[in-house]
Amino acid sequence: MLGTARTLATVRYRPGVVGETRRVSHLIVVEEQHHLPHAVVTRCGLRMRQGEAEVLDTVCGMPCERCLIGC
């Protein structure tokens, strides 16, 4: 469960979906839902389809700089 209010969550591509250098940690805004929708759009504008993204418990790996600055 991700939360029931507007929350930031950290996601990245699952292993095997893209190369390791593209598996950076992205931020998404989760609004009043209990699970990931069919697709998520990160703060930097990257679209990940359901099944491509994994939700991280903590920020780990290389962070997406564009997500951090809130593009």
d(CA 46, CA 5): 22
Domain annotation covers residue 45: yes
pLDDT of residue 61: 83
- Show the domain range for 42: 7-57
Domain annotation covers residue 34: yes
Structurally, how many domains does the chain consist of?
Answer: 1
pLDDT of residue 18: 95
Sequence length of the chain is 71
Domain annotation covers residue 65: no
pLDDT of residue 24: 94
Query: What pTM does this model have?
Result: 0.80
Domain annotation covers residue 36: yes
pLDDT of residue 2: 56
Domain annotation covers residue 15: yes
Tell me the average confidence (pLDDT) per consecutive run of 10 residues in the chain, 71 residues long.
Answer: 69 94 91 70 93 87 90 61
